């Protein structure tokens, strides 16, 4: 039977966060129909019972639509917060002194408890402390093992348990808290496809998470700390994908530095063949408005022009008043950008040189052949997904149809630029490869009679990492009739 779900022609993927506004089966289905390719479950909110209900709903929808669907579980990471105040809050004035200490007494306008020994161990004079997403800025004057004296540079009202950012030092904190480890075990037991790791500061954070995951899911490292930017290449070496988490980057860095950093992270990820997601506040006004601002539309378009693999909605789809409209708008913007005649040239502005391997040579050749023989599509047979990632890295101008016997692989490819993944039985020989490629290309609308397709695969068949075959074949008219579905 053919898929009931029309294959995407859009290349960039849309990752939609689920939440109170999008937790029912009907609403999640509407998000998928509106253009969502993957769903994010924020482990910071809700219970495991709530998360399991979402996972089961998505898997039910996957069977109904006969389309592999991607689930990403986003771990909370360590949250730094100040203590409590005697009156619930205090007003800080510009230029005043303010102390953070380890006392358990309620705070006032001169001091408050800071229940994070790691900050006392790492902080240095001159470092900034940012309170409540950077609304309050304090500069460290002196620090001891149990007392940090600061000067308030930007004052305001500080209240109980407000979040704290420490952008100028690498804190001796593990990226995984006890809660994260429990959430990770739950997510893996319920077969989510991607794990998003928060508070990444160093490659070692990624290595520890990958050790715990042990291949049961792919790992996405969130780049939201200045320390992570400084060690980006090492993080990219270990992570399966990265996210440009602009919200926290914009708190810890001057806002004018975030746009060039976004481009640098996207470019670095593309060069190294890692999927990259651009996230946070993309259509923020649609939380409460049915239409975005022109600046937000331009922001989404920029990420698409840069060649990001996926763009993400957060509160817009999780708790906003117009979740489906936000996905529809993001889909329309991306589709419009990709129809721009200059889009291809802009996407290829980033040079992605192949590694000296047979698989990379074949992926690059497939992309070059598209223009030479006017091929309608690339059909990629893969077991692990590595061949598809290599071909996608080249950003081909035609559809990329990925055929795999592994449902796990098909699901993980939901964050990969341009990939339309289909689970199908494995092939045993060259003739079967050709026949199946033709049949599936027609069935899924990637090509029609009279057009050429380019096929990549590995011999012996079914062996991960063995891509060594590239073949061009023409679909003839009678095949179109035989395989019409």
In tens digits, the chain (485 residues) has pLDDT values of: 334 445 578 999 999 999 999 999 999 999 999 999 999 999 999 999 999 999 999 999 999 988 999 999 999 999 999 999 999 999 999 999 999 999 999 999 999 999 999 999 999 999 999 999 899 999 999 999 999 999 999 999 999 999 999 999 999 888 899 999 999 999 999 999 999 999 999 999 999 999 999 999 999 999 999 999 999 999 999 999 999 999 889 999 999 999 999 999 999 999 999 999 999 999 999 999 999 999 999 999 999 999 999 999 999 999 999 999 999 999 999 999 999 999 999 998 887 877 888 888 898 999 999 999 999 999 999 999 998 999 999 999 999 999 999 999 999 999 999 999 999 998 888 899 999 999 999 999 899 989 999 999 887 776 676 678 899 999 986 555 444 43
pLDDT for 6 equals 52
Domain boundary among 105, 136, 165: 165
The distance between the two most distant Cα atoms of the chain, rounded to a whole number of Å, is 83
- Let me know if residue 8 belongs to a domain: no
- Let me know if residue 351 belongs to a domain: no
Catalytic residues: 40, 81, 222, 280
* Helix, strand, coil abundance in the chain, percent, nearest 5: 40, 25, 40
For residue 229, give the H/E element and its range.
helix 226-230
- Indicate the length of the chain as a whole number: 485
- Let me know if residue 415 belongs to a domain: yes
Using alpha carbons, list the distances in angstroms from residue 278 to 125, 182, 183, 205, 299: 34, 27, 24, 21, 10
Q: Which of 38, 97, 98 is nearest to 68 (CA)?
A: 38
pLDDT for 8 equals 72
- Let me know if residue 352 belongs to a domain: no
Are residues 294 and 425 both part of a single domain? no
DSSP line for 283-345? TGGGGT-SS--HHHHHHHHHHHHTT-SEEEESHHHHTSS-HHHHHHHHHHHHHHHHTSTTHHH
Using alpha carbons, list the distances in angstroms from residue 128 to 27, 260, 261, 309: 43, 22, 20, 34
pLDDT for 397 equals 93
Please state, as a whole number, how many other Cβ atoms lie within 10 Å of the Cβ of residue 180.
22
Sequence-ordered list of residues with C-beta below 8 angstroms from that of 263, at least 6 positions apart, any chain: 306
pLDDT for 2 equals 38
Range of the domain at 108: 89-165
Q: Which of 411, 443, 440 is nearest to 67 (CA)?
A: 411
Task: Give the angle subtended at the CA of 222 by the CAs of 129 and 133, to the nearest 5°.
Answer: 30
Gap between the Cα atoms of 278 and 309, Å rounded = 8
Q: Give yes or no for a cis peptide into 185 (omega within 30° of 0).
A: no
CB half-sphere exposure, 213, CA atoms < 13 A: 27
Are residues 221 and 293 both part of a single domain? yes
The pairing of strands 241-245 and 218-223 is: parallel
Q: Which of 290, 310, 287 is nearest to 300 (CA)?
A: 310
- Let me know if residue 224 belongs to a domain: yes
The pairing of strands 241-245 and 164-165 is: unpaired
Domain boundary among 310, 342, 374: 342
- Let me know if residue 380 belongs to a domain: yes
The helices-and-strands tally (H runs, E runs) of the chain is: 18, 21
- Let me know if residue 3 belongs to a domain: no
Are residues 148 and 246 both part of a single domain? no
Gap between the Cα atoms of 112 and 115, Å rounded = 10
pLDDT for 7 equals 59
pLDDT for 45 equals 93
| Domain count within the chain | 3
Are residues 304 and 453 both part of a single domain? no
Q: Tell me the three-class secondary structure of 432-460, residue by residue.
A: HHHHHHHHHHHHCCCCCCCCEEEEEEECC
Output phi, psi for 81, to 5 deg.
Answer: -140, 150
Are residues 158 and 181 both part of a single domain? no
* 84 DSSP 8-state letter: -
pLDDT for 465 equals 64
Please state, as a whole number, how many other Cβ atoms lie within 10 Å of the Cβ of residue 343.
19
- Let me know if residue 147 belongs to a domain: yes
Are residues 126 and 232 both part of a single domain? no
Handedness of CA 459, 464, 468, 472 (dihedral sign): positive
pLDDT for 482 equals 47
């Amino acid at each position: 039977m053919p898929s009931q779900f029309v294959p995407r022609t859009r290349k960039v993927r849309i990752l939609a966060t689920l939440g109170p506004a999008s937790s029912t089966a009907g609403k999640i289905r509407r998000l998928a129909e509106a253009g969502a390719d993957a769903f994010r479950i924020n482990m910071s909110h809700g219970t495991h019972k709530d998360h399991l209900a979402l996972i089961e709903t998505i898997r039910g929808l996957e069977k109904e639509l006969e389309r592999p669907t991607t689930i990403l579980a986003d771990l909370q990471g360590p949250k730094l917060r100040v203590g409590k105040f005697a009156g619930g809050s205090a007003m800080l004035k510009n230029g005043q002194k303010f102390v953070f200490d380890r006392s358990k007494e309620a705070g006032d306008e001169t001091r408050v408890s800071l229940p994070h020994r790691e900050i006392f161990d790492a902080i240095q004079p001159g470092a900034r402390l940012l309170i409540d997403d950077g609304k309050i800025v304090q500069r460290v004057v002196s620090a001891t093992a149990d007392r940090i004296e600061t000067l308030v540079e930007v004052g305001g009202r500080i209240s109980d348990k407000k979040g704290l950012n420490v952008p100028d030092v690498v804190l001796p904190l593990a990226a995984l808290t006890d809660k994260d480890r429990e959430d990770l075990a739950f997510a893996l037991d319920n077969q989510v496809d991607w794990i998003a790791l928060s508070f990444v500061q160093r490659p070692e954070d990624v290595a520890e998470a990958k050790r715990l995951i042990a291949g049961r899911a792919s790992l996405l490292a969130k780049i939201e700390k200045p320390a992570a930017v400084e060690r980006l290449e090492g993080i990219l070496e270990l992570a399966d994908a990265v996210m440009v988490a602009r919200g926290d980057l914009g708190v810890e860095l001057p806002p004018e530095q975030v746009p060039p950093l976004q481009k640098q992270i996207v470019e670095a990820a593309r060069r190294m063949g890692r999927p990259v997601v651009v996230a946070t506040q993309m259509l923020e006004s649609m939380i409460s408005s049915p239409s975005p601002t022109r600046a937000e539309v331009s922001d989404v378009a920029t990420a698409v022009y840069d060649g990001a693999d996926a763009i993400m909605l957060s509160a817009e789809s999780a708790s906003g008043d117009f979740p489906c409209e936000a996905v529809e708008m993001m889909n329309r913007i991306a589709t419009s950008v990709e129809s721009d005649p200059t889009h291809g040239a802009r996407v290829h502005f980033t040079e992605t040189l192949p590694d000296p391997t047979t698989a990379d040579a074949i992926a690059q050749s497939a992309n070059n052949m598209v223009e030479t023989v006017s091929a309608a599509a690339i059909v990629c047979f893969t077991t692990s997904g590595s061949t598809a990632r290599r071909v996608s890295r080249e950003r081909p101008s035609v559809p990329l149809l990925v055929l795999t016997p592994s449902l796990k692989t098909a699901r993980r490819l939901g964050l990969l630029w341009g990939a339309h993944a289909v689970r199908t039985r494995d092939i045993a020989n060259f003739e079967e490869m050709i026949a199946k490629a033709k049949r599936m290309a027609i069935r899924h609308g990637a090509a029609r009679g009279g057009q050429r397709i380019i096929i990549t695969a590995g011999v012996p068949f079914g062996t991960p990492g063995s891509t060594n075959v590239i073949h061009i074949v023409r679909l003839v008219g009678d095949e179109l009739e035989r395989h019409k579905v």
